[in-house]
Structure 1
């Protein structure tokens, strides 16, 4: 009899548990998903940034979810960030332990989005990849770790390429049933048209830095504190807030004084921007040899961002104009970029307009030969033919 009672009790508890797990989750306004890959020499900044998140914590309107890898341990864990006052230790509960995971595999990013959608549903999604970044190709700086693209995992040697990042966002949009509201990189050199173009069909807004980011990265507590106070902000408003807080942090704020950049793009405007750049590429290719030489010189002198072949779009256009060459597309590009770039927070100079582009010329011709084949396959080039202009400028 006692045995039967125990069996009955177990059945009741199991049934109750099933009903509890099937209970509908509260659908929040936002999910902020941070794919934090600390399997590299940035590892020490991971817990620092999570502790900043914990100063604010998830709210009734915003879930802060982190998939965290660290060189200090084998297991990759997922956390719902909970507010606490301990700034020296991550205390947010582990809601899932994944064991060993390759954080350089784009499919793991998709799995993170799918898990969040199933367990912490929200109306809007802000997806962040935290790691080293190299723009659309290899970061070529002597003495510096050389990641390709983004999310380099030292344990596996793998990384997420620009093309795979586009795939990941396409899959994420399918999972959540609409475009990803915001994609961003807490990483270096990702404010590039080539990267944004890969995900233009599946992401609404894009946030990234043209230049390198200091190791401390984003000022999470400052940004999240103001966002959680006003969770009804539109995605564009959220990004303007973020960029302003990022700049303030390095402009005498919590991170002191460093030269930084942060810009946000409205990807609904990318078609007009790409058409303008296609027109510019076509017009410049029709110039005579003397004029092409001036265009190449403008490309060599345009504002660069760490890599010799990463140049500011509008600074390049302005230099071409100052070298005495004017075409109709130049103003078209300026107008299109003013609609495309919704915020450009930077403390560098008046030559930093918010969008970088691939422009290898002259002394950095090895960057051309090493990357031109891959560049032909990028969506940006397929829509603009930019590689044809780049090719014409070689040797000038």
Structure 2
């Protein structure tokens, strides 16, 4: 009988046994563990899997007893480790078996145990499970409503995979709550601990709505209670619509959306019930870099991270963010927020981006400045001339998710730029100019760090709602910025916006631009515009299109539809009173109509900085080709090579009432071209024309079927008006 010479490694890893000379170089027993034991913080869970293999070709390996043994220095409860195994009383030649040890429910103090394997009556094999358990420095709670971002493109999974590159450590807990997507594994709401390279399921809450205030609040309170830390970071992940659009879109259970004031309600309750103030509250979602949102949340957080603009689908860069927290566990929210902004900007460097870090201590002064600005500006809402000056200030300031082509718009404007444009528009009012300057200064003092893509250089960190498309005025705005009847934003600012809208409602005819007297003299198309305007478009199409479909995919018959526009080289000259003569030379612009993969399209300038001449961001209206395809836009930029590049697809607003992130487009993805068509009213509707990625934007002539011409005018009320008649093209 062979005699074994035992050699032990008393740490996790490889244990071996030598043989007599005839077996030299052969290891009869392999013993491995995955992963290695990691140091843990209070509340964390770790699963260790041990594998034993009998490498002896001719002998069975007896296994007498497998157990967890306390080494005497342990202060944890017996339930802190649980063991399960598929090992039998022996291992046949070349056979393996496994042992699983789950370490959980740890409190502060030492865990000092051994996995003991009684090997055939010999001295037990021992593998240590030893750690000093302390409270983590940070707990990061990420609330992930999967929505179509996950069901269609796996965007949430991509970000979770980034989290697993770091995972929970002794310095930080990374805990997620997932659900809300029509996809296997996302139909119920689950809580998971993110570990290095894996996820550990903590709870399955069943099929409940992630849009419900109670679901949000319960996650925050549960996370703080079960994963205590010195500091806490809350991240909300999904679609976003800012102060009026709310957060998230649960595809599985209603309510789909959490209104902004209910995010405030959930956060307030969680903070009050746990006695904890969060270090950072951030939104990996569109349009939440708003003054209204931070006004509701600042009492419960030291710092706030949000984007003024839409977010690209890749969102935040979680691996760099979490790596920084792990290696800088005492960093404050400003340092961590700065890392979030830098990682996000780097990850989305080819897209249009904004992201900023806001200091809560500066918010009371900011709200005071908003209040004073509103009081100084409101007297100018009471006559046509002054109202138009406010409208011009609003139009000249950079805005976000605002389009005259849709029946829905969020109308968020950069706060610094809006205040600056008001300053410019009212040169003789010293008090208003002082209030405008104070508002810009207070905003810049609150925004401690921000970074934008080059096309968003006139974005300074915070937006505010101020309507530029009055027909889409948000009547719920006062409710969205209040909780339990108490306004958490500026009451005077709410009154300003209300008065501004009320004047428009009472004086629409004096404010909306009309375009009439369309003619073609053989060289130029001409028309007359009444009232002030800000945008002019030349449009070509057909007055009897048979390939237009409503939003239920029903063909609506022969209707006028216009599918290609130009916005430059349209001349306008003042005429009598408040009228203007406009003209467009046909021959000079014959080969300037935009196309996408040779299909004529609406190429709409998305003016990111109206105060600066030139356009570098554009939208092409399309609809996804699928039974549940969404209306939306291809996002186009004029890149650094001076080429037009389609950088992604963004959902338009709709029943979800939340603006979509800009998602990447895989080659082969198909979209219907949308046209501007008459279906009771003029609106964007899909055609049967399909374009397939990859895309190429070109300019040239249009097909002979495009035989009708009209002008469109956009005015300072946000109305888009098309000439009542057409002329031949």
Give the structure-2-normalised TM-score: 0.47
Larger radius of gyration: 2
Question: CA distance change for structure 1 residues 346 and 60 in 2, over 3 Å: closer, same or farther?
Answer: same
- Name the CA shift for 1:230/1:58 in 2 (closer, same or farther; >3 Å): same
| Equivalences for residues 141-290 of structure 1 within 5 A | 149-158=246-255, 159-251=257-349, 257-287=350-380, 289=383, 290=385
Alpha-carbon deviations, 1:258-286, whole Å to 9, x = none? Answer: 01010121122111101111111111123
The farther-off stretch of 202-211 and 91-100 is: 91-100
Equivalent residue number for residue 8 of structure 1: none
Query: For residue 490 of structure 2, what is the aligned residue in structure 1?
Result: 383
Do the aligned residues in 2 keep the contact of 1:62 with 1:228 (CA within 8 Å)? yes
Query: 2:163 is paired with a residue of what secondary structure?
Result: helix
**Aligned-partner Cα distance in 1 for 2:474–2:144:** 33
Q: Distance in 2 between matches of 1:23 and 1:350?
A: 49
Comparing 207-216 and 370-379, the one that deviates more: 370-379
Q: Which of 188, 193, 217 is the matching residue for 1:80?
A: 193
Query: How large is the Cα RMSD of the aligned pairs?
Result: 2.3
Query: How far apart, CA to CA, are the structure 2 residues paired with 1:392 and 1:355?
Result: 23
Unmatched tracts of structure 1, length 5 or more? 1-14, 85-90, 139-148, 252-256
Query: 1:4: which partner in 2?
Result: none
Find the aligned partners of 1:371 and 1:174 in 2 and give their Cα distance. Answer: 27
Moved more, 56-65 or 67-76: 67-76
Q: Which residue of 1 aligns with 2:182?
A: 71
Question: 1:9-67 CA distances to partner (integer Å, 9 max, x unpaired)?
Answer: xxxxxx84399858447311100001111143434111111111011111211111111
The correspondence for 2:438, drawn from 324, 332, 335, is 332
Once the two structures are overlaid, the 10-residue window that deviates more, 378-387 or 169-178, is: 378-387
Q: After TM superposition, list the pairs within 5 Å mapping 1:307-346 onto structure 2.
A: 307=402, 308=409, 309-325=411-427, 327-346=433-452
Counterpart of 2:122?
Answer: none
Q: Distance in 1 between matches of 2:137 and 2:309?
A: 31
Q: CA deviation at 1:376?
A: 6.7
Q: Assess if the C-alpha contact under 8 Å between 1:33 and 1:113 holds in 2.
A: yes
Work out the CA distance in 1 between the residues paired with 2:106 and 2:221: 17
Where do residues 296-311 of structure 1 align in structure 2 (5 Å cutoff)?
A: 296-307=391-402, 308=409, 309-311=411-413
1:232–1:313 distance in 2 versus 1, CA, 3 Å: same
SS of the equivalent of 1:248 reads helix
1:182–1:205 CA contact under 8 A, matched in 2: yes
Within 2, Cα distance between the matches of 1:381 and 1:75? 34
Q: Select the residue among 191, 206, 209 that pairs with 1:102.
A: 209
Corresponding position of 1:88: none
Tell me the secondary structure at the aligned position of residue 247 of structure 2: strand
Asked if structure 2 preserves the Cα contact closer than 8 Å seen for 1:381 and 1:387, the reply is: no
Q: Distance in 1 between matches of 2:202 and 2:326?
A: 22
Deviations 1:97-147 (A, max 9, x none): 222221111211221122222322111110011111110123xxxxxxxxx
Q: Quick one: distance in 1 between partners of 2:295 and 2:229?
A: 25
Given that residues 194 and 380 in structure 1 are in contact (C-alpha distance below 8 angstroms), is that contact kept between their aligned partners in structure 2? Answer: no
User: d(CA) in 1 for partners of 2:464 and 2:283?
Assistant: 17
Out of 338, 343, 368, the position equivalent to 2:473 is 368
- The structure-2 alpha-carbon separation of the partners of 1:330 and 1:129, relative to structure 1 and needing over 3 Å to count, comes to same
Q: Contact 1:110–1:168 (CA<8 Å) still a contact in 2?
A: yes
SS of residue matched to 1:286: helix
TM-score normalised according to structure 1 size: 0.84
Q: 1:346 to 1:22 in 2, by over 3 A?
A: closer
2: CA distance between counterparts of 1:369 and 1:222?
38
Aligned pair count? 359
Q: Find the partner of 1:358 among 461, 465, 490.
A: 465
| Deviations, residues 64-116 of structure 1 (Å, cap 9, x unaligned) | 111111432333221111112xxxxxx31112222222111121122112222
8 Å CA contact retained: 1:66, 1:81:
yes
Structure 2 residue ranges without an equivalent (≥5)? 1-76, 82-103, 109-132, 403-408, 505-510, 512-729
Give the secondary-structure state (helix, strand or coil) at the position aligned to 2:299: coil
Picking from 79, 90, 95, the partner of 1:17 is: 79
Q: CA deviation at 1:383?
A: 3.0
**Alignment partners' CA distance in 2, 1:21 and 1:270:** 39
**Once structures 1 and 2 are overlaid, which stretch shifts more, 289-298 or 49-58?**
289-298
Deviations 1:146-199 (A, max 9, x none): xxx002212123121111101111122124323222111111111111111112
Structure 2 match to 1:144:
none
* Superimposed CA distance per residue, residues 327-354 of structure 1 (whole angstroms, 9 cap, x where no aligned partner): 2112211221122111111113332111
SS at match of 1:332: helix
Counterpart of 2:361 in 1: which secondary structure? helix
- The structure-2 alpha-carbon separation of the partners of 1:152 and 1:376, relative to structure 1 and needing over 3 Å to count, comes to closer
Verify the 8 A CA contact 1:127 1:183 in the aligned structure 2: yes
**d(CA) in 2 for partners of 1:46 and 1:166?**
24
Report Cα offsets for 1:354-386 as digits up to 9, x if no partner.
Answer: 11111113xx11332533453574666753411
